[in-house]
A and B are shown apart, each in its own frame.
Chain A
Amino acid sequence: MPRTEKASSMTMELEQTRRPRAEKAAGKPVKSAVPKVSAWARWRFGLWVPPLVTFVALGIAWEYVAHSNPFVIPPLGNIAESITNDPSAYWNNLLVTLKEVAVGGGAAIVLGYLLAVLMCEFKILERALMPVVMVIMVTPVIAIAPALVVAFGFGMLPKYIVTIIVAIFPILINSLAGLRAVDPGTLDVLRVVDASRWEIFWRLRFPGSMPYFFAGLRIAIPFAIIGAAVAEFVAAGEAAGLGAMVSIAASQANLEVTWAGISMFCVLGLLFVAALTLLRRRILWWDNHGRAPK
């Protein structure tokens, strides 16, 4: 079969030009069925150079503005210096915020998914609760937060509640959609053999809802950080957490501390999203964003 041979040698060539140098040198056989992208391959030129250029350009622009208008934004060096001068203050505030995000966000994830399961299994619960969910969802959290602080005081509780309120909706709405979006054919196959509700949930709905659940997580985690920041802003009387730190520093026109606090939020968010991406790749290897792993 000369034609097939030619075709396959052409794909070999294509594969090899695309493959990282290290593997080509080792002369490994090219397995094209499910190519494993190595860490090195992900660092191809076209992937990391464009964003790097963007960040460098932004940095230069920042420095230019900071040096010509020192009362608008501080130079990057001063921000870094502010952190290295008093790392423990930043660290302690970061831990407070991290705790709020972890506890509030964690509770939102568990409650949101449980609520979605209950609403999926008992339609009457959805009828009963969904309107309330909508009412709370359309109310700006920044308006609810001060009222919660009044009701629950300056402790951690109102912060957890605000975080839960913001983060629960994407989890609930997405998970419910995912639990319902199972293949009707598979559902029929299971019903014909009298699979119980629990079996249908465990074998079909639960794994099937995971891509939706993770899509919800991707929105919910940044939302949880917003919730924690908002709660700290409105309860600034208690000077703990990055939000309180930013709020107090800004009111004192302390630009270095303000921006150092903001950058901490940024790092916090990035760490969570990176962890989520890794977790997703481990758990949802079969989903692959709907693309075939070919």
Chain B
Amino acid sequence: MNAALTTTGAEVLARGVTKRFGVRGQPVTVLDDVDLRIAPGEFVSVIGPSGCGKSTLLRIIAGLLDADEGSVAINGEAVPQAIRHKAMGLVPQTPALLPWRSVRDNVLLPTQVNTAANAGRNLLDVDELLTSFGLGKDLRKYPRQLSGGMQQRVAIARAFVFDPPVLLMDEPFSALDEITRDQQRLGLLDFWQSNRRSVMFITHSVPEAILLSDRVVLMAARPGRIAEITEIDLPRPRDESVFLSPQFREYEIRIREGLRRVMKNAQD
């Protein structure tokens, strides 16, 4: 891997983030006083039932939505400044590739806008990046010629290409079938372990969260809040074999119990 890639990510610090939406005149608190810190180079997964506000939290950190109360800072900087410096890369739920651009040109897209923020930055070599994503033969293909899993890999490469210290991933594998998903998870794990950045990763899958993360944040709904945080103390670099370890099983049981508690409380 490129030696310059050893730099780690930035700190993401959300404090007292509160967001309300009006639903038919009734204000609904989607996020209630949420505090979250992602250390530089830390991989944090956020998991929780639908409606717990995990996507809303990600959108607020990404600057796509404003919080009603509270603040978000990226390495001590407010979100609008961080955005201006291209400090964050986003992987949306769907690949969202442009059908008229080749794979290579789709990945290059973020480097072609706001070019002022490219100065002094370590733009990755696209061909090398895509090759390490297993897409070396598909550089000139168009998105429609790729499978869903390959398309999502292109979308992840697009977030990594301008080497942002923070990556925000909103259920990137949720639209894939289970076998493809496993393959993509391990691919991402592999790539991230040799290119550590701060990651906020939203998911619905407990094993996925444990496999990838340093910490798993469990959120509860109505109002959306952080219920508990589990440190995943599995040795790195990890690979498929962690699925078989007894600690993995323990983490899975603990987080699933937490999920059950959170769901039960929501029903009461």
* Residue ranges of A at the interface with B (Cβ–Cβ < 8 Å): 33-34, 183-186, 188-196, 199-200, 203-204, 207-208, 286-287, 292-294
Contacts and interface: CB of A to CB of B under 8 A. Distances in A.
26 contacts: A33-B145, A185-B93, A186-B92, A188-B62, A188-B90, A188-B92, A188-B96, A189-B96, A189-B159, A190-B113, A192-B62, A192-B63, A192-B89, A193-B86, A193-B88, A193-B117, A194-B86, A194-B113, A195-B113, A196-B113, A196-B114, A204-B98, A207-B100, A286-B142, A292-B145, A294-B144
B98 A186 contact: yes
B111 to A, nearest CB: 9
Contact of B110 (A34, A183, A189): A189
B117 A194 contact: yes
B64 A188 contact: yes
Interface of B: 62-64, 83-84, 86, 88-90, 92-100, 109-110, 112-114, 117, 142, 144-145, 158-159, 162, 168
Chain B interface, DSSP helix/strand/loop, else mixed: loop
A212 to B, nearest CB: 14
Given A203-B113, A293-B145, A294-B145, A192 B96 contact: no
A224 to B, nearest CB: 27
B96 A203 contact: no
Contacts of A293: 142, 144-145
Nearest to B110: A193
A188 B91 CA distance: 9
Given A185-B92, A293-B145, A193 B100 contact: no
Nearest to A195: B113
Nearest to B142: A286
A192 B164 CA distance: 11
Contacts of B62: 188, 192
Contact of B96 (A186, A193, A207, A294): A186
Contacts of A34: 145
Contacts of A195: 113-114
A44 to B, nearest CB: 25
A185 B94 contact: yes
Nearest to A198: B113
Contacts of A194: 83-84, 86, 113-114, 117
B63 A191 contact: yes
Contacts of A33: 145
A293 B63 CA distance: 37
Given A183-B96, A192-B88, A286-B144, 9 more contacts: A184-B96, A186-B96, A190-B109, A192-B83, A193-B83, A194-B83, A195-B114, A196-B114, A293-B142
A282 to B, nearest CB: 13
A286 B97 CA distance: 12
Contacts of B117: 193-194
* Ranked 10 nearest A-B pairs via Cβ: A185-B96, A185-B92, A195-B113, A286-B100, A199-B113, A186-B96, A192-B90, A194-B83, A194-B114, A193-B86
Contact of A189 (B63, B84, B92): B92
A294 B117 CA distance: 39
Most B C-beta atoms less than 10 A away, residue of A188, A190, A200, A204: A188
A186 B162 CA distance: 16
A194 B113 CA distance: 8
Contact of A287 (B84, B92, B99, B158): B99
Contacts of A186: 92, 96-98
B152 to A, nearest CB: 11
B99 A193 contact: no
A28 to B, nearest CB: 20
Contacts of A188: 62, 64, 90, 92, 96
A62 B92 CA distance: 60
From A186, A196, A207, residue with most partner B Cβ within 10 Å:
A186
Contacts of B92: 185-186, 188-189
Contacts of A286: 99-100, 142, 144
B96 A292 contact: no
A192 B62 CA distance: 6
